[in-house]
């Protein structure tokens, strides 16, 4: 079977070579001029100054069909002076009453819009993007890696006005040169691209033709010429903030920390953006506050591994793609900014503690981020951050108060550099991080690393007119600490050196330093209808990144290959189609094949603007080195995962989406069923409401529960879990103006798990499934009063009832008013409540009833920021 798939792929790869494209499209040029008279930004384009230059135009279709005449005509003009770039775009429309005027907050990209991309470095890899929706909403993104990364968290200051008339609509831009980066020279040539979106037809047209199958974006731009005598502008913006908050919760008269039922706080801080030179920008924050940031969604984790939550804090979001250095595909990364200012890892809950009041986050005292790129193609980013030492306030059983340290002073340094060669066809980069913690000596902090370093180099090279390319990465890590800390690292879920069948690594309790490495090598075809990649990566057992990165598991050698066929040209049935196949095989460093499988999936876009897709994954037998939490590896049967989804036309007032997936394990050991349904309602251009309920059922016959030791051996307890999860996400966005928005997010979450058919491990890698465990049958008795089980015949071994019921509700209501560009007022209400119990009432009706009486914490916050431009 695998051999046939590989032979088929070789055939596809050979066929793909036939479609290798070379770029023969002529580069278009627009010549601008220096402004001779004043322009008033009013969205009308009636100022005499606009007559200084000719119209640019002749847009060409990009999607759904390339190189055809677009449905509507588009023209533009560009002027400049010593401080600003002026752009006027006339979007003709023969049916102006059908122009989509949907509102959104900044970077929402709703409705009809036009976009200008400016490669002011002219490095053919990076660009600054400015978008204008017909409703006057601004969008801006920093484009990197030749169009593969679009960072919408970049929020420069610029000015926009739009208008609608009988010929269509107009957008008038005024972009400060201080928001761009360019070399100091007499005459400039910049990369230039303009894009128009016709919302009702989901049609894109561009000024410079770019084939959707091309291997990149920025390097194919047209050129902006005629800019002379301008000087790079040094940016200096200071943004102080003041915030006040009130938190309410249930009164606990016996608890001195909660006896009032409320808590008041105030805080101040400052952010700054400073142009050190024309090439270097410093972002600075002192005592930042992120109270306006949305809460993380609820989740239940029954695995051995960490959960990943996306970064949402603005300071760390902006430019995060510059710092990123992934070990391979997925979430494993040498840089994960949520480690900075995370939850304190110490534990002050000693035996004599009666009441405790502890912070949820380590306060960031200050952070600085320096980014830059020079005319020779060298770019870099440096992040330095320092977090506070944190204490828990404790009252002991005698009524005495004391402070217990639960987080040390910590310093985080992250640096990333890249050098372009050959107009960005080759990029060579390096990464380094260093974490230092101070005075780790109590309350479990001695288990943290005193210091941690990671570093890497990478090369991304494109050849044959960028149609082919390869990627190489090499990474190393080092962590240092006490013997207890390094023992904890060796025995943690990422590596489990202590496994009894681990014949290639063992625990060394005398170590104070641990080293590891990782690497990736991949080669593939990056353009045309046929694309493919074949590659391999590894993570050595000693690799450790979680001090300032994200790492799920080590001891993996992953080999993979994929191929995809794209049809971007409309056919009789479809606007576009994609077909993809993927196979992989994993080994550990002992040479044991731990995983193998293959996938096919298909996606279609229809002429009625609906879309759909389906896929099938065949999982071979799998060996887990982690599921028994340091016990022996265990072999699971294979299985099938099948999914399908569809979405209706989102341009309608009401639209729907549906997603359904099934997993069937061989030997009937596992079954997962997931349903997700979303409905979106847009009654007006300013209001959008979406509701997304989700239901999942999971059954696993070999779910790990606990480790129980008797006089003879350690037993690894497993059981069959029946887990039900119900959740719903509600979002409502109301745009009073483009700069004044009200946003609501709410999520009720309910989950239950019931265990039965308890088992002990046996020969966990036996050939026959039933030989891998010892079924306890009815050899256990449940004590309802004490909520634990006693196992007969094992000298009275006991284990706690593993059943669970979880009910949570989280919500954020945020009013955001950007009263002048760059200055914002936030009004925030957050509600968080949760309940955990082992009740046998686990049906949906029982769980949902608990939502009504849920004890919640409410936080009310007002945050005022003002941006000074100096």
3-state secondary structure 440-506: CCCCCHHHCCCEEEEEEEEEEEEECCCCEEEEEEEEEEEEECCHHHHHHHHCCCCCCCCCCCCCCCC
Q: How confident is the model at residue 8 (pLDDT cuts 50, 70, 90)?
A: very low
Lowest mean pLDDT among 135-149, 345-359, 543-557, 638-652: 345-359
Beta-sheet pairing, 513-525 with 530-539: antiparallel
In tens, the pLDDT along 373-394 reads 888 889 999 999 999 999 999 9
User: Given a cut of 70, is residue 175 above it in pLDDT?
Assistant: yes
User: Given a cut of 60, is residue 565 above it in pLDDT?
Assistant: yes
User: Given a cut of 50, is residue 330 above it in pLDDT?
Assistant: yes
Summarize the confidence of residues 524-534 as an average pLDDT: 96
Locus of tokens 């200055």: 823
Q: How confident is the model at residue 618 (pLDDT cuts 50, 70, 90)?
A: very high
Sequence-distant (6+) residues with CB within 8 A of 164 are: 96, 99, 101, 134, 170
794, two tokens: 């094992």
In tens, the pLDDT along 811-848 reads 999 999 999 988 999 999 999 999 888 766 667 777 77
Q: How confident is the model at residue 24 (pLDDT cuts 50, 70, 90)?
A: low
Lowest mean pLDDT among 247-251, 374-378, 445-449, 639-643: 374-378
User: Given a cut of 80, is residue 154 above it in pLDDT?
Assistant: yes
HSE of 443, CA atoms in CB hemisphere, 13 A: 19
Q: Which long-range contacts (CB under 8 A, 24 or more apart) does 533-539 make?
A: 533/561, 533/562, 534/560, 534/561, 535/471, 535/559, 535/560, 535/561, 536/560, 537/327, 537/328, 537/473, 539/327, 539/328, 539/332
User: Given a cut of 80, is residue 532 above it in pLDDT?
Assistant: yes
Q: Say how far apart CA 515 and CA 541 lie, in whole Å.
A: 9
Burial 54-64 (b: 16+ CB within 10 A, else e): eebeebbbbbb
pLDDT of residue 21: 38
203, two tokens: 């049609």
The alpha carbon of residue 237 and the mean position of all alpha carbons in its chain are separated, in whole angstroms, by 28
Locus of tokens 């979405």: 647
Q: How confident is the model at residue 276 (pLDDT cuts 50, 70, 90)?
A: confident
HSE of 747, CA atoms in CB hemisphere, 13 A: 21
User: Given a cut of 60, is residue 164 above it in pLDDT?
Assistant: yes
Sequence-distant (6+) residues with CB within 8 A of 238 are: 270, 271, 272, 867, 868, 870
In tens, the pLDDT along 278-310 reads 788 999 999 999 988 989 999 999 999 999 999
- Could you state, in order of their start, the residue ranges of all structural domains in the chain? 26-228
The alpha carbon of residue 154 and the mean position of all alpha carbons in its chain are separated, in whole angstroms, by 16
Is 0.85 surpassed by the pTM of this model?
A: yes
Q: Say how far apart CA 578 and CA 564 lie, in whole Å.
A: 7
**Among residues of the chain, what percentage have pLDDT more than 90?**
84
pLDDT of residue 349: 82
Topology classification of domain 26-228: Immunoglobulin-like (2.60.40)
Summarize the confidence of residues 69-83 as an average pLDDT: 97
Beta-sheet pairing, 187-198 with 203-206: antiparallel
Summarize the confidence of residues 689-696 as an average pLDDT: 97
Q: Chain-wide mean pLDDT for the chain?
A: 93
Locus of tokens 């955001």: 816
User: Given a cut of 70, is residue 3 above it in pLDDT?
Assistant: no
Q: Are 844 and 805 in contact (CB under 8 A)?
A: no
HSE of 286, CA atoms in CB hemisphere, 13 A: 10
Q: What is the CA radius of gyration of the chain?
A: 29
Q: How far is CA 469 from CA 333, 597, 816, in A?
A: 22, 25, 44
């Amino acid at each position: 079977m695998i051999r046939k798939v590989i032979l088929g792929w070789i055939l596809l790869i050979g066929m793909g070579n036939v479609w290798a494209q070379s770029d023969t499209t002529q580069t278009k040029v627009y010549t601008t001029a220096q402004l001779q008279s004043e322009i008033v930004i009013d969205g009308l384009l009636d100022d005499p100054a606009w007559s200084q230059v000719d119209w640019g135009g002749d847009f060409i279709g990009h999607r759904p069909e390339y190189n055809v005449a677009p449905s509507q005509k588009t023209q533009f003009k560009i002027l400049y002076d010593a401080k600003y770039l002026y752009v006027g775009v006339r979007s003709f429309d023969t049916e102006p009453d059908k122009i989509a005027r949907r509102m959104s907050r900044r970077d929402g990209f709703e409705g009809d819009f036009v976009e200008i991309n400016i490669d002011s470095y002219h490095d053919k890899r990076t660009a600054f993007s400015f978008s204008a929706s017909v409703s006057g909403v601004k969008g801006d993104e920093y484009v990197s890696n030749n169009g593969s990364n679009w960072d919408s968290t970049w929020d420069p200051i610029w000015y926009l006005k739009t208008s609608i008339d009988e010929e269509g609509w107009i957008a008038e831009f005024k972009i400060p040169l201080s928001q761009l980066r360019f070399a100091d020279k007499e005459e400039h040539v910049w990369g230039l691209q303009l894009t128009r979106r016709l919302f009702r037809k989901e049609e894109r047209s561009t000024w410079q033709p770019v084939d959707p199958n091309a291997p990149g974006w920025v390097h194919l731009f047209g050129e902006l010429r005629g800019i002379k005598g301008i000087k790079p502008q040094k940016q200096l913006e200071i943004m102080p903030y003041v915030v006040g908050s009130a938190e309410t919760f249930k009164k606990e008269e016996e608890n001195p920390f909660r006896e009032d039922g409320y808590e008041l706080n105030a805080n101040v801080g400052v952010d700054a953006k400073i142009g050190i030179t024309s090439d270097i920008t410093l972002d600075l924050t002192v005592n930042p506050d992120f109270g306006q940031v949305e809460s993380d969604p609820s989740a239940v984790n029954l695995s051995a591994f960490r959960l990943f939550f996306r970064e949402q804090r603005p300071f760390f979001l902006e430019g995060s793609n510059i710092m990123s250095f992934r070990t391979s595909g997925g979430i494993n990364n040498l840089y994960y900014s949520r480690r900075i200012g995370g939850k304190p890892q110490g534990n002050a809950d000693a035996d004599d503690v009666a009441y405790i009041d502890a912070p949820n986050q380590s306060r960031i005292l200050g952070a600085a981020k320096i980014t830059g790129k020079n005319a020779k193609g060298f770019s870099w980013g440096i992040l330095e951050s320092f977090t506070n030492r944190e204490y828990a306030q404790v009252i002991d059983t005698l009524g005495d108060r004391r402070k217990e340290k639960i987080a040390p002073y910590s310093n985080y340094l992250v640096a990333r550099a890249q050098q372009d060669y050959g107009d960005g066809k080759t990029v060579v980069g390096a990464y380094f991080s260093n974490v230092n913690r101070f005075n780790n000596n109590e309350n479990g902090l001695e288990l943290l690393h005193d210091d941690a370093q990671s570093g890497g180099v990478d090369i991304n090279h494109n050849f044959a007119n960028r149609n082919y390319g390869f990627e190489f990465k090499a990474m190393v890590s080092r962590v240092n600490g006490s013997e207890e800390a390094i023992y904890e690292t060796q025995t943690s879920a990422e590596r489990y050196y202590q496994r009894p069948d681990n014949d290639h690594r063992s625990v060394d309790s005398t170590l104070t330093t641990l080293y590891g490495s990782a690497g990736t090598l991949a080669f593939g075809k990056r353009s045309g209808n046929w694309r493919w990649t074949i590659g391999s990566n590894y993570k050595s057992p000693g690799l450790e990144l979680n001090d300032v990165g994200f790492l799920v598991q080590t001891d993996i050698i992953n080999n993979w290959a994929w191929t995809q066929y794209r049809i971007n040209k409309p056919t009789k049935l479809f606007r576009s189609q994609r077909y993809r196949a993927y196979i992989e095989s994993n080994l550990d460093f002992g040479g044991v094949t731990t995983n193998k499988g293959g996938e096919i999936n298909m996606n279609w876009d229809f002429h009625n603007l609906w879309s759909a897709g389906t896929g099938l994954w065949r999982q071979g037998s799998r060996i887990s080195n982690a599921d028994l939490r340091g016990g022996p590896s265990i072999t699971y049967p294979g299985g099938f995962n099948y999914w399908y989804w569809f979405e209706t036309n989102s341009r309608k007032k009401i639209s729907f989406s549906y997603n359904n997936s099934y997993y069937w394990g061989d030997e009937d050991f596992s079954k997962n069923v997931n349903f997700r349904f979303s409905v979106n309602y847009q009654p007006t251009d300013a209001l959008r409401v979406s509701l997304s309920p989700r239901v999942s059922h999971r059954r696993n016959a070999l779910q790990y529960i606990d480790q129980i030791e008797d006089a003879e051996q350690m037993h690894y307890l497993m059981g069959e879990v029946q887990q039900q999860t119900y959740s719903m996400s509600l979002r409502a966005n109301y745009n009073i103006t483009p700069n004044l928005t009200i946003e609501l997010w709410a999520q009720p979450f309910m989950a239950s798990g019931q265990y039965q058919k308890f088992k002990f491990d046996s020969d966990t890698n036996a050939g026959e499934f039933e030989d891998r465990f010892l079924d306890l049958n009815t050899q256990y008795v449940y004590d309802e009063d004490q909520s634990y089980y006693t196992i007969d015949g094992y000298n009275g071994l006991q284990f706690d009832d593993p059943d669970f019921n979880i009910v949570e509700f989280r919500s954020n209501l945020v009013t955001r008013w950007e009263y002048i560009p760059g200055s914002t007022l936030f009004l925030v209400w957050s509600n968080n409540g949760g309940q955990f119990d082992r009740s046998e009432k686990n049906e949906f009706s029982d769980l949902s009833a608990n939502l009504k009486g849920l004890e919640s914490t409410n936080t009310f916050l007002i945050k005022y920021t003002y941006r000074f431009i100096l």
